[in-house]
Amino acid sequence: MAKVNTKKKTYNTKKSSGSGSKKASGASSKKTVRKEDREIIDTKKNFYRSELTAIIAGLLGLFLLLTDFGLLGTLGGIFLNLQKGLLGQGYFLLSAAIIAAVVVLFKYRDNYFAPMKAGCVFGILIVVCAFIDLLMSGLGSEKHGVSIGELYSLAADGAAGGGLIGGLISDGLKSLIGFAGTAVLLLALLLVFVVFIFEVSFINFASKGARKTAVVVKKSADRTFEAARSGHEQYRQYQRENAERRAALREERKRQFLAEDDYPEDGYRNEGYSRD
């Protein structure tokens, strides 16, 4: 009896271990399914998020573009004054910047820095507005000693310049580093934004431009040297031909003079010769 009970216990132990392995495999399969479902859900979320962002941004860009042309009535006029007050003469670039940011997001959607690239598009817009305010003297002459509210009002009324944003940046930099320093700094920021968005090497671009310029200068110098050498050769040939003509003329005159001396003075009339 003891042996039989031992076998039963052993059988029961095997049975229980088999059921345990089945449960473990079932749990792992459920975890795998859940991970796959999460990946599918995350993919769909990203898709819907990007699509909705593109649609909303495109509609906003179109809305602002219509306000720039005065096609949206009173509401459009309010948004137009807001754009002018903030961006000044660069207000018409805001709609283009929004559309460009959407294009950058879609082009670099798999890039970790895609949102930062889209932000750099608006950074370019701000730099351009600061450049406009720096170069245009109209608003600059009117805003000495004015407050931020008055600066916004002047830009909204159509005064020349970069609006509130461009004016604050331009005036702040000019007070620190002057006109030339501000221009150089803004240009450097513009290049940084462009390089970051398009991932192009400015150094390689400059070196390629330098090499192309060197090739063009060398070709131009070779053509100039060849033209100078050809002109010198033509001049020397002309000098040789001119010297030969003068020598031939002297020889001809010498022969004529010797021929006249061979005949007596009285013999010209008798033999039909004449000195003329």
pLDDT digits (tens, 9 = 90+) for 202-255: 676 666 766 777 777 778 777 887 777 787 788 888 888 888 888 888 888 877
Beta-carbon contacts of 253 under 8 Å, excluding residues fewer than 6 positions away, are: none
Please report which confidence band the pLDDT of residue 186 belongs to, taking 50, 70 and 90 as the band edges: very high
What does the pLDDT look like over 120-132, one tens digit per residue?
A: 999 999 999 999 8
Model pLDDT, residue 8: 45
Q: Are 86 and 133 in contact (CB under 8 A)?
A: no
Residue 97, number of CB atoms within 10 A of its CB: 21
Where does the chain have alpha helices with state H? 2-68, 73-87, 93-107, 114-135, 137-142, 148-156, 163-198, 202-261, 267-271
Burial code of 151-185, b = ≥16 C-beta within 10 A, e = fewer? bbebbbeebbbbbbbbbebbbebbeeeeeeebbeb
Helix (H, G, I), strand (E, B) or coil at 145: coil
Indicate if the pLDDT at residue 275 is higher than 70. no
Distance CA 10, CA 52 (A): 63
C-alpha to C-alpha distance for 33 and 135, rounded to whole angstroms: 62
Query: What band does 17 get if pLDDT is binned at 50, 70 and 90?
Result: very low
Residues whose CB falls within 8 Å of the CB of residue 143, separated by 6 or more in sequence, listed in order:
150, 151, 154, 161, 167, 171
Q: What's the token pair of residue 193?
A: 């934004």
Among 106-110, 162-166, 252-256, the range of highest mean pLDDT: 162-166
Question: Would the pLDDT of 262 be above 60?
Answer: no
Which pair of tokens denotes residue 40? 């599918």
Computed on alpha carbons and rounded to an integer, the radius of gyration of the chain in Å comes to 45
Please tell me the distance from the alpha carbon of residue 69 to that of residue 76, in angstroms, as a whole number: 9
Tokens describing residue 187: 């240009």
Collect all residues with Cβ–Cβ distance below 8 Å to 85 and sequence separation of at least 6. Answer: 152, 153, 155, 156, 163, 164
pLDDT tens, position by position, 24-71? 455 455 555 466 677 787 777 777 777 787 788 888 888 888 887 878
Flag whether the pTM goes above 0.85.
no
